[in-house]
Chain A
Amino acid sequence: MGKQAVITVRQLVKKFGAFTANDHLSFDVYEGEIFGFLGANGAGKTTAIRILSGLSQPTSGSVRVAGFDAAREPEKIKKNIGYMCQKFSLYEDLTVRENIMLYGGIYGMPKKVIRERCGELLDRLQFSAYGDRLIAGLPLGFRQKLAFSVAVLHQPRIVFLDEPTGGVDPVARRQFWELIYETAAAGITVFVTTHYMDEAEYCDRISIMSEGKIVAIGTPEELKSTWQAASVEEVFVKIARPQHVTI
């Protein structure tokens, strides 16, 4: 299986004044991969994700996402990615169908295509009976699956997820991950950021950032064996803040 990179980052530096938020990051993310992007608060994750999603420019280095250059073609990147965060993704005072139509419209999809995909999406999630219900009254697990499906409605090359399964019950959480696996198996790259180390264990590969640098990258299994840890959480605690003095 030839791995094709959909995100290529080389020597990415981002400075804010004298502060270096991203310090020479280099990594690849492949097509159809579930990639976990971890780091302590303030490690520089948000800065990097803003660059990867075309919202911010690198100070130096090269970043290519979905075949486009982050410095010169950020608008093209935006059209070829999807984004979902746990806290806000859907408009609560719109119905399920209205949300789908709205997001499809924002991504410039023709109305006819949106309607078709809307029907398919509701069928696949077995949500057809809920098309005209307001988001506000729906259970959290349901909303998360819908938010994810909406984020990939325009069939992006990459979808970015920010703490996707926080707070849901264990069954809903697993249903959500199966949806992610299915999406990745269909060739869409899933880029996950999370604080929740349990969630990281579900990724194909993970990277851990600390103080603007990537300090570890590999499959969860590789990292656990390298750092002789039972869980990703243990790996994280060992390396994410090496200078930190514990009490």
Chain B
Amino acid sequence: MRNEQKQEVIRASGIAKSFGTTEALKEISFGVNEGEIFGFIGPDGAGKTTLFRILTTLLLPGKGSMTVLGRDVVREFRKLRGEIGYMPGRFSLYMDLTVGENLRFYASVFGTTIEENYDLIRDIYTHIEPFTNRLAGRLSGGMKQKLALSCALIHRPRLLVLDEPTTGVDAVSRTEFWEMLRQLREHRITVLVSTPYMDEAMRCDRVALLQEGRILAIDTPENIRQGYSRRLYSVRSAEKFRLITALRKFPETRTAWPFGEDVHVTFREEGRASGLENFLREVGITDARITEIRAGIEDCFLELMGGAHAGP
């Protein structure tokens, strides 16, 4: 799976950042390879935005060092800025400019023109081109996202940094957006993306799971799933709340977390799932379906957070 001549485009060593007494980042280290889609997955407050702001030279690290595209983020910030495309969490569009004006403005800031790099954004921009003369403020969420991506790409950056690009965007637009990111690989653009949505991890080449300023794991999504060491079971019943309560009472239960229609359960000792069916029947839950399943990224995240308690 691993490519031999991988070139690292980001190398972070012991990056820490505090705001007052809050430690937003606690000495984190990682590398990102050229041409990959690398995801930082974590909830609000995990440190994703702080990290991206350091990476894009908008914030000084408190400790540690980082090189991006071979340049030091502190000493060579000016040169670096021209080589990065950055899309902050709240799309940085001018709402009182039209779609076309926004794009032209971003091109001119980076000393280029739309025509020069149009091939790079064509696939994305064609979706919004019919609305060239509409004010950005009057676009839907999905269209704003596409315009913001076009603006971040118009100077042909080598690295694209996207801070929660899919937050607040509907599922159809999200799927399209990930498709666009994959197409950027053909242009050898490295993509760094953050998201609070665990399910989006599977769309990245590699991910770092971030929680309270620390990296819990860093690998391909598949390897992270394979690293889940316990046997995991899914239990389903029409009466979810009763089921959860009962699972928590079962003496062998180690963890029991609701997962959509199911409850995912681990046991203190492997193989103790066998007694569960009887236990549930005794407390009046007769429709329970128990199946062993493979852990998803969210199961891994819960486990890595220290999920060794049965829940609240």
- Residues in chain A within 8 A of chain B (CB atoms): 39-42, 139-140, 166-172, 174-175, 177-178, 181-182, 184-185, 195-198, 201-202, 219-221, 231, 233, 236-237, 240-241, 244, 246-247
Contacts and interface: CB of A to CB of B under 8 A. Distances in A.
B172 A241 contact: yes
Contacts of A140: 43-45
B240 A181 contact: yes
Contacts of B240: 181
Interface in B55-107: none
A106 B309 CA distance: 39
B111 interface: no
Given A170-B301, A196-B197, A233-B199, A247 B170 contact: no
Interface string B138-150: 0011100000000
B33 interface: no
Contact of B141 (A41, A177, A178): A41
Given A166-B196, A177-B258, 17 more contacts: A41-B142, A41-B169, A140-B44, A167-B43, A169-B211, A170-B257, A175-B312, A178-B258, A178-B312, A181-B240, A181-B244, A202-B260, A233-B199, A236-B172, A237-B171, A240-B171, A247-B180
Contacts of A41: 140-142, 169-170, 173
A240 B172 contact: yes
Given A236-B171, A237-B175, A168 B44 contact: yes
A178 B173 contact: no
Nearest to B42: A169
B180 A195 contact: no
A196 B169 CA distance: 9
Given A41-B173, A220-B260, A170 B298 contact: yes
Contacts of B44: 140, 167-168
A168 B199 CA distance: 14
Contacts of B123: 247
A169 B242 contact: no
A178 B311 contact: yes
Mostly helix, strand, loop or mixed at chain B's interface?
A: mixed
A246 B176 CA distance: 7
B255 to A, nearest CB: 10
Nearest to B301: A170
Interface in B123-141: 123, 127, 140-141
A212 B298 CA distance: 34
A70 B112 CA distance: 56
Contacts of B242: 185
A170 B43 contact: yes
A184 B261 contact: no
B258 A198 contact: no
Nearest to A42: B140
A168 B241 contact: no
Interface string B252-273: 0000011111000000000000
Interface in B104-124: 123
Given A198-B197, A241-B172, A166 B167 contact: yes
Contacts of A40: 170-173
Given A169-B211, A171-B302, A220 B168 contact: no
B309 to A, nearest CB: 9
B205 to A, nearest CB: 20
B261 A221 contact: yes
21 contacts: A140-B45, A170-B43, A170-B198, A170-B305, A172-B43, A178-B258, A178-B311, A181-B244, A185-B242, A195-B169, A197-B171, A201-B260, A202-B261, A219-B261, A231-B199, A233-B175, A236-B170, A237-B175, A240-B172, A247-B123, A247-B127
Closest 8 interchain pairs by CB? A201-B260, A169-B43, A167-B44, A181-B241, A185-B241, A40-B170, A175-B312, A236-B171
Contacts of B261: 201-202, 219-221
Contacts of B42: 169
B31 interface: no
A40 B174 CA distance: 11
Contacts of B196: 166-167
B170 A240 contact: yes
B302 A170 contact: yes
A174 B257 contact: yes
A42 B173 CA distance: 12
A93 to B, nearest CB: 19
Contacts of A197: 171
A195 B170 contact: yes
Residue among A140, A178, A219, A221 with max Cβ neighbours from chain B (10 Å): A178
A174 B258 contact: yes
B179 interface: yes
Interface in B235-294: 240-242, 244, 257-261
A168 B46 CA distance: 10
Q: Which of B260, B302, B311 has the most CB of A within 10 A?
A: B260
A222 to B, nearest CB: 11
